[in-house]
Amino acid sequence: MTTRTAASTSPNDTPIVSMDMITKTFPGVKALDQVKLDLYPGQVTALVGENGAGKSTTVKILTGIYVPDGGTIRINGDAIAFASPNEAAAAGITAIHQETVLFDELSVAENIYIGHAPRTRFGLIDKAAMHRAATKLLDDIGAPFSAHTPLRDLGIANKHLVAIARALSVDARVVIMDEPTAALSHKEIEELYALVETLKSQGKAILFISHKFDEIFRIADRYTVFRDGAFVGDGKIADISEGDLVKMMVGRSVDQIFPTRSHDVGEEVLKIVGYDHPTEFADINFTLNRGEILGFYGLVGAGRSEFMQALFGITKPAKGVCRINGDIKVIRSPADAVGNGIVYVPEDRGKQGAIIGLPIFQNITLPSLGKTSRNGFLKLAEEFKLAREYSQRLDLRAASLDQDVGNLSGGNQQKVVIAKWLATLPQVIILDEPTKGIDIGSKAAVHEFMAELAAQGLSVIMVSSEIPEVIGMSDRVIVMRDGRIAAELAGDDLTPETLVRHAAGISTPTKGAAA
């Protein structure tokens, strides 16, 4: 690994921003312990670390939301302390968040210039100047919409463009991108990469946070690794292998190895015939067998989640037949679905999250209250018994089941949520993007767990956009495109190329032409 020499005179070797010995303590917890992070002009630095490594805290310190307890931040060599987000913005540091923080009811131009709009002589907002400047910014980044468009009419990818335009409008020198591709489709990600190149050529320093290694190795020039709130190492991407970076990140060697599963797929459990929805999906037919993991792959917006919600009774399909164990079942509500042994763990973490304010055991028994009550009254003893059984099965770490679920760590909260579903003794479990946004170590645990569930005779539907996961975990894969089933793949047909081809609607195998 090459080391930088402090005496180097090349402009690209002198960081714009240099964080050193930064420490941040929350009551009882050290979130960051003497970490360092350097950002160089015209280069992309990837900040790598598992969930909880302290990446978000670092971003919040850089953008002035948190004040560090110790350490120094230097900008072009001058020590600086941000007392507020405004000061960080004034220093040219801007962040584009995972969920863009913009205003739906304002126009694109207003969003770009909110807080620093050009003024007329009388102190009023100079709308004409603002629209002119916004139009120029949008042209520079190749945005396919006008400055007058109301923000609510734009998709997530285009909202990102607005956020980037906003970053450019304040003449940012440092752009922080926190998992910018998490919600984007393949084509949109390519456009984002192109934009990152543009920003680099303009000499901006970019801090790029991502869990996706292909992304990091594709666009980053440098890396910095944090683990458990501490600095592990940094250097140039060209000097490190993917495997070594993973090792630094987790402190142990983790291969993307999926659990081996003895194939004991049983009889048909679920049969869907002719599910149609007026606007979201059409002509969905498939079967699911006992102990099978059925993958649903597709680009974002292919209608996978929309179909799953209809299957679960949240939205109603216009027509279609659902057979469970051969019998026709009408599912009009989530309660019907749960009653028929179908449970759904949705994609959105906030939505699938535990119910804060209820203690652990009440969270676990919530969908099973029928089982734990007699004559309409809940039996606490029965509730504790059920909760204890499933929390032990999932190795839930908590002082007491009576404890408020809000006091648990994120990982343990997730266990509570899964325990809740298993306690209903489901036949079919739908997991929507089960490993989205979680670190590699936790991913392996989730995969292990899915394999275990299938081995116990549970049928799993896994909606996933990650190709290795889809291929590694599924017995069969259904590829959706534009609300329809584009292909059903298994065995030798199940390759990254065939998945991408069917999902993108390319008839001949052309590698990397998904756009």
Partner 1 sequence: MTRFIPLREAILAGAIFALLMMIATRFAGFVAPSNLANVFNDTAPLIILALGQMVVILTRCIDLSVAANLALTGMAVAMINVAMPGLPIPVILAIAITLGAIMGAINGILVWKLAIPPIVVTLGTMTIFRGIIFLISDGKWVNAHEMSPAFTGFARTVLLGLPVLSWIAILTVVIFGIMMARTPFGRSIFAVGGNPHAAVYTGINVGKTQFWAFVVSGALAGLTGYLWVARYAVAYVDIAGGFELEVVAACVIGGISIAGGIGSVGGAVLGALFLGVVKNALPVVNISPFWQLAISGSAILIAVAFNARSGRTKGRIILKSAETAQ
Binding site for partner 1 (CB under 8 A): 26-31, 33, 52-54, 57, 228-229, 312, 314, 333-335, 337-339, 344-346, 348, 350-359, 362, 366-367, 369-370, 373, 376-378, 380, 397, 399, 402, 407, 409-410, 417, 420
Dist CA 180 CA 177 (whole Å): 6
Enclosing H/E stretch for 196: helix 186-201
Q: What one-character-per-residue DSSP string does 359-371 give?
A: BHHHHHHGGGTTT
Dist CA 470 CA 449 (whole Å): 15
Q: How far is CA 431 from CA 310, 393, 499, in A?
A: 14, 19, 19
For partner 1, give the closer residue by CB, 353 or 472. Answer: 353
Q: In the bound complex, what is the minimum distance in angstroms from residue 59's beta carbon to partner 1?
A: 14
For partner 1, give the closer residue by CB, 230 or 265. Answer: 230
CB 392 within 8 A of CB 413: no
For partner 1, give the closer residue by CB, 238 or 399. Answer: 399
User: Which residue, chain included where needed, has tokens 């006008």?
Assistant: 146
Q: In the bound complex, what is the minimum distance in angstroms from residue 460's beta carbon to partner 1?
A: 17
User: Which residue, chain included where needed, has tokens 């495997």?
Assistant: 243
Q: In the bound complex, what is the minimum distance in angstroms from residue 269's beta carbon to partner 1?
A: 19
For partner 1, give the closer residue by CB, 57 or 63. Answer: 57
For partner 1, give the closer residue by CB, 278 or 376. Answer: 376
CB 102 within 8 A of CB 155: no
Q: In the bound complex, what is the minimum distance in angstroms from residue 317's beta carbon to partner 1?
A: 17
Q: In the bound complex, what is the minimum distance in angstroms from residue 91's beta carbon to partner 1?
A: 26
Dist CA 44 CA 436 (whole Å): 23
Using a 10 angstrom Cβ sphere, with 0-12 exposed, 13-18 middle and 19 or more buried, the burial of residue 261 is middle
Dist CA 361 CA 300 (whole Å): 35
Q: In the bound complex, what is the minimum distance in angstroms from residue 433's beta carbon to partner 1?
A: 14
User: Which residue, chain included where needed, has tokens 């996933």?
Assistant: 464
Which tokens sit at 23?
């420490």
Phi, psi of 376 (to 5 degrees): 85, 0
Q: In the bound complex, what is the minimum distance in angstroms from residue 379's beta carbon to partner 1?
A: 9
For partner 1, give the closer residue by CB, 243 or 357. Answer: 357
Query: Residue 70, Cβ neighbours under 10 Å: how many?
Result: 12
Dist CA 397 CA 484 (whole Å): 42
Dist CA 426 CA 479 (whole Å): 25
Q: In the bound complex, what is the minimum distance in angstroms from residue 367's beta carbon to partner 1?
A: 5
For partner 1, give the closer residue by CB, 40 or 312. Answer: 312
Q: In the bound complex, what is the minimum distance in angstroms from residue 496's beta carbon to partner 1?
A: 31
Q: In the bound complex, what is the minimum distance in angstroms from residue 402's beta carbon to partner 1?
A: 6
CA-wise closest residue to 287 among 258, 323, 311: 323
For 313, half-sphere exposure in the C-beta direction (CA atoms, 13 angstrom radius) is: 17
For partner 1, give the closer residue by CB, 52 or 64. Answer: 52
CA-wise closest residue to 210 among 466, 410, 446: 466
Q: In the bound complex, what is the minimum distance in angstroms from residue 49's beta carbon to partner 1?
A: 10
Residues 6 or more apart whose CB falls under 8 angstroms from that of 423 comprise 364, 365, 367, 368, 386, 387, 389, 390
Q: In the bound complex, what is the minimum distance in angstroms from residue 173's beta carbon to partner 1?
A: 29
DSSP 257: P
For partner 1, give the closer residue by CB, 79 or 378. Answer: 378
Amino acid, single-letter form, for residue 408 = L
Length of the chain: 515
For partner 1, give the closer residue by CB, 52 or 320. Answer: 52
Which tokens sit at 397?
């770490």
Amino acid, single-letter form, for residue 84 = S
For partner 1, give the closer residue by CB, 28 or 512. Answer: 28
For partner 1, give the closer residue by CB, 54 or 295. Answer: 54
